[in-house]
Amino acid sequence: MKYIYLLTLVLITFYSPLRAQVEEVSEAPNPNTLLENMFGDPNVFADLKILTYDASSLNDLTVKQKELVYYLSQAALSGREITYAQNYKHNILLKRTLEEIYLKYEGDRSFPEWHEFEVYLKRFWFSNGIHHHYAEKKFVGNFPPHLIYDVVGVTPNLKLPKNEEESNEDFLDRIMPIMIDPNLDAKKVVKDKGVDKVALSANNYYGDGVTEAEALAHYAAMGEKGEKTPVEYGLNSRLVKIDGKLVDLVYKSGGLYGDAMDAMIGWLEKAEKVAENDAQAKHISMLIDYFKTGDLKQWDATNINWVNSTEGDIDFILGFIEVYGDAIGYKGAFESVIQVNDKEASKRMEVLSKNAQYFEDNSSIMNEHKKENVVGVSYRVINAAMEAGDAAPATPIGINLPNSNWIRSTHGSKSISLGNIVEAYNSAGGSSSLEEFYLDEKVRARIKEHGKLSSKMHTAMHEVIGHASGKINDGVGTPKETLKNYSNTLEEARADLVALYYIYDQKLVEIGLMPSLDVGMAEYDNYIANGMMLQLRRLDEGENIEEDHMRNRQLNASWAYEKGLKDNVIEKKIVEGKTYFVVNDYAKLRVIFGELLKEIQRIKSEGDFQAAEALVEGYGVKVDAALHKEVVERYASLNLAPYSGFVQPKLTPVFDKKGKFKDLKVEQEGYVEQMMRFAKEYAFVKVGE
């Protein structure tokens, strides 16, 4: 603390009126609280925990396959900063500033305020920006704003991303409110009913002055009602106003994020030359053309070719894909997962794909909403070799693509489970939450025995048969057109319900995927406890649920609880002041899940917006404040981080004397070390781009 006193004394002359103002906005940190955490695990901070995953399967690949993985991983990392830029218009500006300060400051780093600055920077990296990766809400640092002024004032040779005429102090005056005012651009994605979700969302998918109504009308005018093969309008662009007219700034070579696109193209061109087979080479070539042109018809053609390219051990996801970050569901976030097939695990799970028609035919949905011929559902368990963009550090555990409904119906889809990611999560998990939130010892014992398998089966069925099931009635538009901001929530709820319906089906025992229905019972216990209670730990007091997957789980669980009240299917028990939700009748719960699946499929098939709104707003959004407070307090006593993410393996190429690739070193590095290396090697997005 002596150092801080002297530092502040020396720099008192730099104190500006704005600094006085921001000091009032931000609360000073509690030194005692900070000191308690200073010397703990550097990979546990705020509500986050950094994990590693096992990428040693790369060592078993051929030299050519290793070379392919390396080039693909470099393409993925070259686009990683696009996600920061998409999440918020000032994220790249802040990223350059924070990283430059962290890199160049040579003074004492042992005091509490600097520790909190590091926590803020680590959170910024984890969330790919200034808004929480899951809760969507802006977070602010637990350090006094004068710290930044003080450190900058004593650090020479800083290359801050300021305007030429600005002093360092003027630059900090300009950017400090962005960092410390929680009410400025407060939420990355706003999904509240009855507001302009585009105008109020802080993400960077739409320019200033663009309204929700204008955006919806703009993309509706691009297509024709009832068209059979619509492209994903608006997927790879930012919609802005230029001279009062709406214009899509397309992500492509020579366009928006052009430097990053060119870097990815360069690595893909190398990858094409070492592809495992012709189909894979063609896919890479088509993706290169798409990145050069930004043509969404080319994106569809690329996806069709990708779905049909099933040979080889290496596959990858790279592009602008998931639309959860856009409140109206048009804009795709940059994402990449480089994957290596786990042959043995994939072989065990192929049986799901082979029985896809059985699951469709025997579903609880109406016959007119069933697919007569479920095509092209491929399923693999893979080991992640590199993740980037929206897939890192927080990562999915299962993926089903492409998202285009007509491509899935006509050509099929690919589903993957990220085996080494799931294993890393399982290895890091503890049993304390199980003891705290599950009342019956028999239930706890069943989850301990079958919980890992039940989770894997749920993920597999969610991706393989969940997203691949059902069809939209002829003449009905795409879900993002008909169900609008509720489409993502209901699609995830529908896929979950397919998995829940079948995980308690004797068929899975008959085909050798489960030893008994105890696996399904374990999943029901877990799902109800999570949907009704456990996931609430991720919310701040007074918040509604915004994130689509959280809305989906509460919707399914709370609807099932309400519909089963008469028969006491799920019982709410309060024991010694603690709340528990206990499943009393698993067979009846399966029937209830089937009823909700039938209704949600009807809503999607018919494009029933009013029913979609009633279902999501009625069951998936509002939170029981008293129960929320109880869950947060009980979970806090366990000292567990609610969220986890991953540091990526460090992949280093080895060349012979002639410059020919001969091997790939797979190493681990620290989280901060990795983020700073990435900042140096993959800074392809310009400030303000």
Q: What is the pLDDT of residue 346?
A: 85
Q: List pLDDT tens digits, range 193-237.
A: 999 999 999 999 999 999 999 999 999 999 887 788 999 999 999
Query: pLDDT band at 8, cuts 50/70/90?
Result: very low
Q: Are 115 and 34 in contact (CB under 8 A)?
A: yes
For residues 552 and 492, the answer to whether their CB atoms sit within 8 Å is yes
| Structure confidence by residue, pLDDT tens digits, 501-550 | 999 999 999 999 999 999 999 999 999 999 999 999 988 888 999 899 99
Q: Which long-range contacts (CB under 8 A, 24 or more apart) does 170-173 make?
A: 172/148, 173/16, 173/18, 173/19
Report the distance separating Cα 374 and Cα 370, nearest Å: 9
Residue 358's pLDDT band, with cuts at 50, 70 and 90, is: very high
> How far is the C-alpha of 194 from the C-alpha of 200, rounded, in Å?
12
**Integer-rounded Cα radius of gyration of the chain:** 25
Which of 42-46, 91-95, 181-185, 293-297 has the lowest average pLDDT? 42-46
**Does the pLDDT of residue 2 top 90, yes or no?**
no
Give the 3-state secondary structure of residue 142: coil
Q: Give 381-431 pLDDT, tens digit per residue.
A: 999 999 999 999 999 999 999 999 999 989 999 989 999 999 998 888 667
Residue 300 tokens, joined: 């569809």
Q: Is the pLDDT of residue 447 over 80?
A: yes
Could you read off the pLDDT of 303-357 as tens digits, one per residue?
999 999 999 999 999 999 999 999 999 999 999 999 999 988 888 778 888 899 9
555 with 616: CB under 8 angstroms? yes
Tens of pLDDT, residues 120-131: 999 999 999 999
Give residue 24's pLDDT band: very low, low, confident or very high (50, 70, 90).
Answer: very low
pLDDT at residue 32 is higher than 80: no
CB crowding 130-162: b at 16 or more within 10 Å, else e: bbbbbbbbbbbbbbbbbbbbbbbbebeebebbb
Quote the percentage of the chain above a pLDDT of 70.
Answer: 94
pLDDT score recorded for residue 40: 64
- For Cα atoms 349, 383, 81, give the angle at the middle one, nearest 5 degrees: 130
Alpha-carbon distance of 172 to 166, in angstroms, equals 10
Strand 643-647 and strand 570-575: the pairing is unpaired
* Predicted pLDDT at 156: 92
More confident residue, 2 or 494: 494
Which pLDDT does position 435 carry in this prediction? 93
Cα–chain center distance at 217: 28
> What does DSSP say about strands 314-320 and 334-341: parallel, antiparallel, or unpaired?
antiparallel
| Span 608-638, pLDDT tens digits | 999 999 999 999 999 999 999 999 999 988 8
Q: Closest by alpha carbon to 176, among 184, 188, 187, 166? A: 184
Q: What is the pLDDT of residue 225?
A: 79
Whole-number pLDDT of residue 5: 28
CA–CA distance from 18 to each of 93, 98, 149, 322, 643 (Å)?
Answer: 19, 19, 11, 39, 35
Q: Which residues contact 453 (CB under 8 A, 6 or more apart)?
A: 514, 519
pLDDT at position 575, please?
97
Whether 17 shows a pLDDT value over 80: the answer reads: no
Q: Dihedrals φ, ψ of 663, to 5°?
A: -165, 170
Q: What is the token pair recorded at 368? A: 């007119």
Task: Reply yes or no on whether the pLDDT at 15 is more than 50.
Answer: no
Is the CB of residue 486 less than 8 Å from the CB of residue 616?
A: yes
**β-strands 398-401, 413-418 pairing:** antiparallel
Among 34-38, 285-289, 445-449, the range scoring the smallest mean pLDDT is 34-38
Please give the pLDDT value at position 114.
Answer: 96
Instruction: Find out whether 669 and 462 touch, Cβ atoms under 8 Å.
Output: no
Residue type, 670: G
Per-residue tokens: 655: 């060349």
Upstream peptide bond of 642 is cis (omega within 30 degrees of 0):
no
CA–CA gap between residue 114 and residue 120 (Å, rounded): 10
pLDDT tens profile 169-181? 999 999 999 999 9
**What span, in angstroms and rounded, lies between the C-alpha atoms of 678 and 445?**
43
Mean pLDDT of the chain: 92
* Residue 29 contacts residue 113 (beta carbons within 8 Å): yes
Give the whole-angstrom CA distance, residue 171 versus residue 90. 13
